[in-house]
Structure 1
């Protein structure tokens, strides 16, 4: 049995044993009050809620949430118990708690001195403040589950359609046996099943008919299904993940048309299986072999990845990627919350670096009181600020700082979405997952569009605990080697090889003169070389052994012996790891910095490469400013290896 079954079984056994009774004086065994009863049920089932500080109803919520429970109150009807599942914890933070014994709200609980510890209590609204559900139960079907992507279709992930199995008449088709075979049946609710697997129709992205599927919803409910029919490619999106009709559904349940004869009866059929029709799909796994039931729900070969502590999908920003195109006329333009403030802008500057990801833009506007006869929009924190040098939108960000202390002007700071990834931390677990799929998964969960990404076939096996999202993506790209970078443009994230992102900024001495290469006229130049960070030997180790040592003999002969020790992670290849690290570390650092002038329409940024004197350099930092109509840029570069 899984955690939930064990917790409920323990509670039921205690309730049926007359040697245990309700007590607030002796409450941690053999007798219990309401909170110690529920806490002990899950503690004994393997969830350390008591160890982590749960002692009474007033502190249960925070501790249970930290131990893998999720607040699913919004998916349940507190008036009648609909939507409640076995194992749910009903909580009134001030007075009482109970454990749901069966789907629908029947409880087992330490109810009080007059009732004792009782089982099979019909549902009642105590009233309850919330419903908590354990979402990490290991019980389930064992298979080599491989997690697949889900489409970014928002609320449509909660849309559940249905089709009658009687319409599937091609006995030669691969899905026929799952709908019509001897192991197929119709449940009392009207859902068609193959053995205990719910029959479904899915897009071809999720495999051929006969593929087994594990689906998790945002209320914590997990179902196991088999693909009995395929949505037509002509009726699905370009990746064949979801139906593109008016319902835009991803999941289509196969039913018995003689039982499920209306939309209302379909909703009832789902509810009888503990499935909330308004719950969204948050994760989906597939297996090309039939799973077997086991107590732990996984095997050493099971590929579980993505958020280890939450499956929540939240937009990194609700509206920043939903802006209408800017109306451009070839001139510099600044728009704040759809209001053109260009003519009121004073100095404007921005900075971006490879290391910090985010672009930070600063600008100023005159005090409204100094322009009392003009109608001027006053930017506020949280406003969306957009900038164009003339021919395209170059920057889109959110105002995060307002300085209105000066007498004659207000100063503002805006940042792009990279800032949010620097500030947002989470926990991720990936197992043998392609690097590009890892990044797509992260972006999908944060509703971040990807406008450019190369093939990244490196397999990632790594746990990231409480790391900034940007650091997770950086580490994934570092494991791919070869100088990848990522940044944000107005429409989303770009991932690219720095060597592929060549730029050649230009300027004009005067409007009617020819364009000149800005780098050739660079001023205030600084040029340095160093072996300060060089390593010419890499030793790869585990906790107990030296796996390999790779040396650059020519470099050692010239500069001396400089060694780096690298510890392997699970899944790493020692030879590949040593080659990657030696390739990155065995180099002379060469840095260049200087100041250039660019056209207003130019937007040279960190991560791009510039050629100077026949040598290619990666821009590590760019500091732009526009003063009196002239675009200045101070750039720092390092030699491209």
Structure 2
């Protein structure tokens, strides 16, 4: 195994990594010929990826091993499995320089599309139904509680867009955030708060570079709820933000008989009435720093100080086990949402 430098709160210590591939005949530990690993994720995407680089020849004429497209690959940091997925592509040249890319099984949410009608179903019910119908393995699916009156997808829509829409509708009504991840080859749906694992990133300790961007372009400080005919049902506003930045209104359509207009408006105002505060940080790696978790950052020049939500991560391991991570972080959770617009009646149940 390769040994390197990360671990603990500040990313200092030792690491070992291991890559195991199933070629259809047996399971191979291919770590000895690995020259680099990139392991990455993004909250806007349901899957994580693994790219592995190999020196796949002993004599410059034949391969040391064969990588099977569709084969299973597992990635371990220390003794803990961090990724399990399917090889989707590989590339090798005459010198034996070889790379392959794998995705966890949540990738099939984006590789399948359908038209569907859901009536009086929870988002968690929709996730289970789609996974069952398309043979996508799943584990823990937390009950999302809110019964969505109807979601009609009459045009070809990816399974991931259906799930994002159901989760978005639930979050607007309940004020509870959810994340879709993959654990040991199974899709899991959990409340966002249960995914937070705080790590410290600090200048002169484990932070190597950082940049910060702040904007009010996406801010909305007044929310108006209207019905299908355009009549006003509810208006909420943040006077302090209006005084400071000017009026910026968001309009949300709901039916007259929908419950929870006030709660929906309040939740939207809380979500939209914020300054977009996003930063990029490079640090010594820790495998817990992944999209959907939280980190605490201290960097005085960019004023990136406080708790931040990781929206994207890219971990790099070299043959000696040196581990670095590039993080995109936000002061408020940047969630993969998709607004629902009711289509004309139709679609497949």
TM-score, normalised on structure 2? 0.78
SS of equivalent residue, structure 1 residue 346: strand
Distance in 1 (alpha carbons) for counterparts of 2:128 and 2:114:
16
Q: Map 1:441-452; keep pairs closer than 5 Å.
A: 441-452=129-140
How big is the shift at 1:452? 3.0
Distance in 1 (alpha carbons) for counterparts of 2:68 and 2:137:
26
Distance in 1 (alpha carbons) for counterparts of 2:295 and 2:255:
36
Q: Map 1:194-209; keep pairs closer than 5 Å.
A: none
- CA 1:365–1:535: 2 relative to 1, 3 Å: same
Query: Which has the higher Rg, Structure 1 or Structure 2?
Result: 1
2:240 equivalent to 1:554: yes
2:197/2:288 contact within 8 Å kept = no
Distance in 2 (alpha carbons) for counterparts of 1:485 and 1:362:
23
SS of equivalent residue, structure 2 residue 240: helix
How big is the shift at 1:347? 1.1
Distance in 2 (alpha carbons) for counterparts of 1:610 and 1:351:
16
How many residue pairs were aligned?
Answer: 298
2:230 equivalent to 1:541: no
**Aligned residue for 2:47?**
358
1:334/1:342 contact within 8 Å kept = yes
How big is the shift at 1:534? 0.3
Q: Map 1:250-265; keep pairs closer than 5 Å.
A: none
1:341/1:376 contact within 8 Å kept = no
2:142 equivalent to 1:457: no
Unaligned runs of 5+ in 2: 1-14, 299-304, 334-349
1:540/1:568 contact within 8 Å kept = yes
Distance in 1 (alpha carbons) for counterparts of 2:170 and 2:202:
31
Distance in 1 (alpha carbons) for counterparts of 2:307 and 2:193:
8
* Offset from partner CA, 1:392-428 (integer Å, 9 cap, x none): 2111111111112363311111111122111211122
**Aligned residue for 1:619?**
310
**Aligned residue for 2:269?**
582
1:539/1:563 contact within 8 Å kept = yes
Distance in 1 (alpha carbons) for counterparts of 2:42 and 2:94:
29
TM-score, normalised on structure 1? 0.44
- CA 1:403–1:571: 2 relative to 1, 3 Å: farther
SS of equivalent residue, structure 1 residue 370: coil
Higher strand share: 2
Distance in 2 (alpha carbons) for counterparts of 1:609 and 1:406:
43
* Offset from partner CA, 1:294-315 (integer Å, 9 cap, x none): xxxxxxxxxxxxxxxxxxxxxx
SS of equivalent residue, structure 1 residue 581: helix
SS of equivalent residue, structure 2 residue 59: helix
2:127/2:163 contact within 8 Å kept = yes
**Bigger RCO of structures 1 and 2 (CA < 8 A, at least 6 apart):** 2
Distance in 2 (alpha carbons) for counterparts of 1:376 and 1:367:
5
Unaligned runs of 5+ in 1: 1-329, 506-516
Q: Map 1:98-497; keep pairs closer than 5 Å.
A: 331-337=16-22, 338-368=27-57, 370=59, 376-405=64-93, 407-460=95-148, 461-465=150-154, 466-481=156-171, 482-497=176-191
